Structure 1
Amino acid sequence: LADAINDGSNIDNSQVTITVDDGSIFQPGHIILIESEQMWVSSVSSNVLTVATRPYSGSAATHADDTTVTIVGIARLEGDDSDAVAFTDRTVGSNYTQIFHQEIKVSRTQNQVSQYGIPEEFEYQSNKAVPQLMRLVEKQMYLGARKAGSATTPRAFGGLGTFVTDNTLDYGSAITQANLEDTMELAYNDGGSPSIALCSPANMQVIKNIYDATTFLRVERTEDTIGMVIQNVMTPFGELKLVMDRWAPANTVYLLDPERAGFVTYFPFTFEPLAKVGDYERGEVVGEFSLCVRMDKAHAALTT
């Protein structure tokens, strides 16, 4: 955990009270590091830290306002009384469910016509509906805008862009090995471990070409195939599986921890027959889904 000095001026090498931005993260006994000097916090009052005789370790020095204050440990006095610590209200992300629907309507005559490979038109159209709706669910995962809805406006679930907003890096005109790994580092530094990268076909090819030229490859030998399929990339911050998705946006590569992101099925796709009111058969396929993203800082996005 880290904060910053907020004294309005420098603190000199003998000052024992330090004002910080957020005192709620500190407690008596914390060992803090400011530049190369360690201090021991003896008490906390609001945003003011009182430290013991300086230094606790290192050399006492003058520190500028807004310098980072990092908690590096805790050391309590033997037999000391317990100290209350501040509580931080938990914030919870939210999303909405979204209803996906498609009607199937086939005339009586059309349904009776014998077609090669299609025994019954109504059944054929019903079977086509679910894959088509699944494609819309997938597109919503990338591009969805979160909407609460009303009596006249349908609710909609927010996509990945609604949640993955902290660890983003602009790659400019072209993805490079360096900025791919830099994006992984953003999530890693926040405690995340992304393991999949969702790539558009164009971005998949760019990343493949980056690693095609490297001398560090794990290759399976085949006798009748030329070229390499890059499926996993080893970075200093973990292994990343490349997943090509034709619906992934061309301007964003999402790096996700799949244990902390996924779909929620509120109501699975179901076929329901509708009342017959004319010379046709009619039914609907309907389902209700949402996207759940936990711990947004466990994920990252490479954007342009």
Structure 2
Amino acid sequence: MAAPSGTFLTTAAIGNREDLTDTIYRISPTQTPTLNMASKSKATNTLHEWQTQDLAAAADNAQAEGDNASAKTVTPTVRLNNRTQISTKTVIVSGTQQAMNPAGRKDELAYQLALASAEIKRDMEYGLTQNDVLATSPRKSRGLRGWVVDNVNNNGGTLASYTGNTGYTAGTQRAFTEAQVKDVLQKCYTAGGEPDMLMLSPSAKQTFSGFTGNATRFDKSEDAKLYASVDYYVSDFGTLQAVPNRFMAARDVFLLQSDKLAIAYLRPFQTVELAKTGDAEQREIIVEYTMECRAPKAHGAVYDIL
């Protein structure tokens, strides 16, 4: 039916207020497992250094009665280093926009700074997991792919070297299996490590949840739920929390000992007010940091998975 003749319709009305909700919806992921897991440390130079120490190999220690004492062979420390990396985001908001009354936020500049801060953390997570070498121009921090090379299950290619600062070359991809995880766990334990986190891409996490281990799964019929996720893996050498990471490479799986990783900050997160050059407010968020892999042999990885 048509409206009666002369009915004043919205299509002809002038001045109806817009219907815009006062909420902004966002689903872009902001979880940063590596940043959250690692300890915070302090850097005082763009070249950040630390030392590791190995004990002498265990041996049959039997001495003759009355024998003269002799000094043991000294195992020197190993000096490791990484470069600090500067990450920034610049926000410029015009004076006019700052004076407006936008929906979903009270202050445009503050809102844009909050977005920029979240974006920097995402960038950091990406680099901390995928960077394989340190660089000097511009400075770049070596990430997990460059540090986790001692206890590895891979399929060809070339592993990075943190002593020679050479990069990673991918091998041939293959299916991700529980046997690979067990192999790396044994290597870590033999070397002295005790990983407590299994970090996986979303696709690898789903594959991991299908591992059977030595257990039988049960479904709780009373709550009509099917439990298809595995969040903890109890191995022969300890329990690991399985954590998905959206920003790591899909072909990598890391087995990490959380107390042997830190993020060393030369300059913590700070917001700097830039010089005013026109009718706009300018701010820059700056952070300078590096990954401090306190004991590379504590960690392990499965590389080259599908």
**Common fold, TM-score beyond 0.5?**
yes
Deviation at 1:148, TM superposition (A): 4.5
Tell whether the 8 Å contact from 2:132 to 2:147 is kept in structure 1 after alignment: no
The C-alpha deviation readout for 1:216-274, integer Å capped at 9, x for no partner, is 45888871533332100112222111000111211110101001012122222111111
Tell me the secondary structure at the aligned position of residue 183 of structure 2: helix
Q: Distance in 2 between matches of 1:101 and 1:127?
A: 13
The C-alpha deviation readout for 1:106-155, integer Å capped at 9, x for no partner, is 11111122111121211110111111000011011111244352xxx211
Residue 297 of structure 1 aligns with an amino acid whose one-letter code is K
Correspondence for 1:97: 84
Q: Distance in 2 between matches of 1:245 and 1:276?
A: 39
Correspondence for 2:144: 160
Does the C-alpha gap of structure 1 residues 221 and 264 become closer, same or farther in structure 2, counting only changes over 3 Å?
Answer: farther
Tell me the secondary structure at the aligned position of residue 242 of structure 2: strand
Q: Distance in 1 between matches of 2:229 and 2:144?
A: 27
Deviation at 1:86, TM superposition (A): 2.9
Q: Distance in 1 between matches of 2:269 and 2:148?
A: 27
Q: Which of 145, 151, 170 lines up with 2:154 in the alignment?
A: 170
Q: Distance in 2 between matches of 1:169 and 1:222?
A: 41
Correspondence for 2:52: none
Does the C-alpha gap of structure 1 residues 222 and 250 become closer, same or farther in structure 2, counting only changes over 3 Å?
Answer: farther
Tell me the secondary structure at the aligned position of residue 139 of structure 2: coil
TM alignment of 1:1-304, pairs within 5 A: 72-149=59-136, 153-170=137-154, 173-211=174-212, 215-217=215-217, 223-304=223-304
Residue 107 of structure 2 aligns with an amino acid whose one-letter code is E
Does the C-alpha gap of structure 1 residues 258 and 221 become closer, same or farther in structure 2, counting only changes over 3 Å?
Answer: farther
Q: Distance in 1 between matches of 2:219 and 2:191?
A: 33
Does the C-alpha gap of structure 1 residues 185 and 227 become closer, same or farther in structure 2, counting only changes over 3 Å?
Answer: same
Q: Distance in 1 between matches of 2:216 and 2:80?
A: 41
Residue 136 of structure 1 aligns with an amino acid whose one-letter code is D
The C-alpha deviation readout for 1:169-226, integer Å capped at 9, x for no partner, is 0265111121211111111111111110110000000010123x86445888871533
Tell whether the 8 Å contact from 2:201 to 2:250 is kept in structure 1 after alignment: yes
Report which structure shows greater RCO (CA 8 Å, sep ≥6). Answer: 2
Q: Distance in 2 between matches of 1:106 and 1:97?
A: 30
Does the C-alpha gap of structure 1 residues 245 and 148 become closer, same or farther in structure 2, counting only changes over 3 Å?
Answer: closer
Q: Distance in 2 between matches of 1:221 and 1:77?
A: 69
The C-alpha deviation readout for 1:58-113, integer Å capped at 9, x for no partner, is xxxxxxxxxxxx85420112222111333333212111111111111011111122
Question: Aligned residues: percent identity?
Answer: 27
Tell whether the 8 Å contact from 2:267 to 2:288 is kept in structure 1 after alignment: yes
Tell me the secondary structure at the aligned position of residue 284 of structure 1: strand
Larger strand share, 1 or 2: 1
In structure 2, the gaps of 5 or more residues are 1-54, 156-172
Q: Distance in 2 between matches of 1:286 and 1:107?
A: 21
Tell me the secondary structure at the aligned position of residue 211 of structure 2: helix
In structure 1, the gaps of 5 or more residues are 1-24, 27-69
Which portions of structure 1, spanning 4 or more consecutive aligned residues, are displaced by more than 6 angstroms?
218-222
Does the C-alpha gap of structure 1 residues 255 and 223 become closer, same or farther in structure 2, counting only changes over 3 Å?
Answer: same
Q: Distance in 1 between matches of 2:58 and 2:181?
A: 29
Residue 111 of structure 1 aligns with an amino acid whose one-letter code is Q
Residue 106 of structure 2 aligns with an amino acid whose one-letter code is P
Residue 166 of structure 1 aligns with an amino acid whose one-letter code is D
Residue 100 of structure 1 aligns with an amino acid whose one-letter code is S
The C-alpha deviation readout for 1:14-33, integer Å capped at 9, x for no partner, is xxxxxxxxxxx98xxxxxxx
TM-score by length of 2: 0.70
Tell whether the 8 Å contact from 1:265 to 1:290 is kept in structure 2 after alignment: yes
Q: How many residues align structurally?
A: 233
The C-alpha deviation readout for 1:28-47, integer Å capped at 9, x for no partner, is xxxxxxxxxxxxxxxxxxxx
- Across the aligned residues of Structure 1 and Structure 2, the Cα RMSD in angstroms comes to 2.3
Tell whether the 8 Å contact from 2:219 to 2:225 is kept in structure 1 after alignment: no
Tell whether the 8 Å contact from 1:106 to 1:122 is kept in structure 2 after alignment: yes
Q: Distance in 2 between matches of 1:221 and 1:264?
A: 49
Q: Distance in 1 between matches of 2:268 and 2:219?
A: 41
Tell whether the 8 Å contact from 1:197 to 1:243 is kept in structure 2 after alignment: yes
Q: Distance in 2 between matches of 1:122 and 1:99?
A: 22
